[in-house]
Amino acid sequence: MSTSPSLKIVVVGSVAAGTSAAAKARRNDESARITVYERDHDISYSGCGLPYFVGGEVETIDELTPRDAAWFKARYDVEVRTGHEVTDVDVTTRTVTVRDLATGSTFEDPYDELVLATGVRSVVPPLAGVDLPGVFTVRSPSDARAIRGWIEQRKARRAVVVGAGYIGLEMTEQLTERGIAVTVVEALEHAMPRMDADMSARVDAELRRNDVDLRLATRVSAIEGDHDGVTGVRVGSPEDGETVAADLVIMSVGVRPNLELATQAGVTIGPTHAIAVDRQGRTDVPHVWAVGDVAESFNLITGEPAWVPLGSTANKMGRITGDAITGGTLEHRGILGTSIVRVFDLGVAQTGLTEDQARAAGYDVEVLHNIKPDRPEYLGGKPLVIKAVADRATGRLLGAQAIGASGADKRIDVLATAITYGADVADLFHLDLAYSPTYATTKDPVHYTGMALDNAIRGTAPLITPAELDRRRADGEKIQVVDVRSAKDRAKGVVAGSVHLPLKELRARAGELDRDVLVVTYCNKGVTGNAGQNLLRNLGFAQVYNLSGGNQNYQAWAAAQRLGRS
């Protein structure tokens, strides 16, 4: 593939997207002149690995920054100029103005094609004390070095993490593993607020199980300290709140696209507040492209603009644009926001639409909570919770969330692939997945997910979520809730207002129930509840639902409701 020998490509930004764009452009066109400007000194680094350097799992920062400017020059003949900030874009003359941060001098550089890969910046609320020594964001290797240095030099023992998204949770885990007492302050009602509340509540529980002081639905009003460093964080109102002692504060409330150069260039900013681009990364200004976290993507399911800043997406976008600039035909195919984060002993993963997002998009949804071991219990299998959402009208899988000690990554990737190719939930049962008792059960949790959703959508085994059950009962609807477990299991916790008809007695005692009133059966996780549901339906009961995820899911949801009200 070849283009004009005079082609000059300027890339602004050198992390995932910028370097991917430059490398792909060079692979396509040996004659192009490619310059990458980066105001920092580290390039092509693993931003997602920074918390693990702070915690010590990654021993040296060099492991996260394996490539430097000299490597790119030798490998790709790409000129990477670190310590150089692009301060201005003139789209009329097609030039950028660059400041050498070491000398303060400026110069202009012409381009034929300009790629904006300016990434994101951390959101730092305008709080009193936010500039005190010991208050950090986590965006670059420089940040990670500074945090680790502060911890080791100051012998920090108490930390406050503000925000419980990906970075906040990763930093919480790593600081705790270092023996630091951590308080997490989250303005919303649950940690990991991108997930549905009934799944986020499990993350809350895992944090507390590891002695994290989790403050939900709580805001920071000020940071306290002096010129020597931070001493505490004021939570609640300045008048009626309290001060949480801290030697270290991590601000992880979110990120926003760096749009300064985009604004100068006059490109359109999309509804997500990132740069609007086509499927190859073109903006609406000729010869200006945008890639990575600064640019919009689109949701693969709804087709609507979407912005989920992840390194995996940034790499794809960079490669696609580098290809397009040099005459290629690659196009971006959209995103599902697939992600995973480790929170102590749990993998927390999601893909596609949550229940809340699917309802907001206008779908009539079927919802399943599937609790199964990731592999047989005789080989140490541990519970894996999958929440899956499907479209009742078409049977299409819309999204899934998975939480478990192991196996969440494998299952979420399978489900993401199924969603990408428009799978019906019935298709999931027919997937020929790898099986060995060291890795999976004979009917994998993915298979069970497909079977249960398909049965629910076809009406042979309808499901009801804990939220819907309690809402309908609160609205005054008469519902018979039947616990089909053993007396031993029932003694461990029950759904309020339920009657006890163990499965082995249900056939003989079914006459104790009103055939014309809706029945909800439940067990511990859902399997025995489904058996009771089938039995009653075969006996002529008109409306029988199985409680999604059984008593385990109901109790997790009830705990989340109690925390939300507290």
**Residues taking part in catalysis:** 48
Look at the block and give the residue holding tokens 């994290």. Answer: 212
CB 222 within 8 A of CB 128: yes
Joined together, the tokens standing for residue 211 give 């002695």
Exposure string over 309-332, b if 16+ CB within 10 A, otherwise e:
bbbebbbbbbbbbbbbbbebebeb
Nearest residue to 186 (alpha-carbon basis) of 212, 209, 211, 210: 212
Look at the block and give the residue holding tokens 């997910």. Answer: 449
Q: Are strands 339-343 and 346-352 parallel, antiparallel or unpaired?
A: antiparallel
Nearest residue to 374 (alpha-carbon basis) of 453, 433, 300: 433
Look at the block and give the residue holding tokens 């199964």. Answer: 372
Number of Cα atoms under 13 Å in the Cβ half of residue 153: 11
CB 287 within 8 A of CB 266: no
DSSP string of 239-305, one letter each residue? TT-EEEE-SEEEE-S-EEE--HHHHHHTPPB-TTSSB---TTSB-SSTTEEE-GGGB-EEBTTT--E
Distance from CA of residue 338 to its chain's centroid? 7
Terminal Cα distance for the chain, rounded:
63
Measured distance CA(272)–CA(254) in Å, rounded:
14
Nearest residue to 42 (alpha-carbon basis) of 95, 87, 80: 80
Number of Cα atoms under 13 Å in the Cβ half of residue 87: 12
Dihedral Cα 156, 160, 162, 166, nearest 10 deg: 60
Q: Counting beta carbons within 10 angstroms of the beta carbon of residue 101, is it exposed (0 to 12), middle (13 to 18) or buried (19 or more)? A: middle
- Paired residues of 352 in beta bridges: 399
Look at the block and give the residue holding tokens 């799978």. Answer: 423
Measured distance CA(206)–CA(143) in Å, rounded:
27
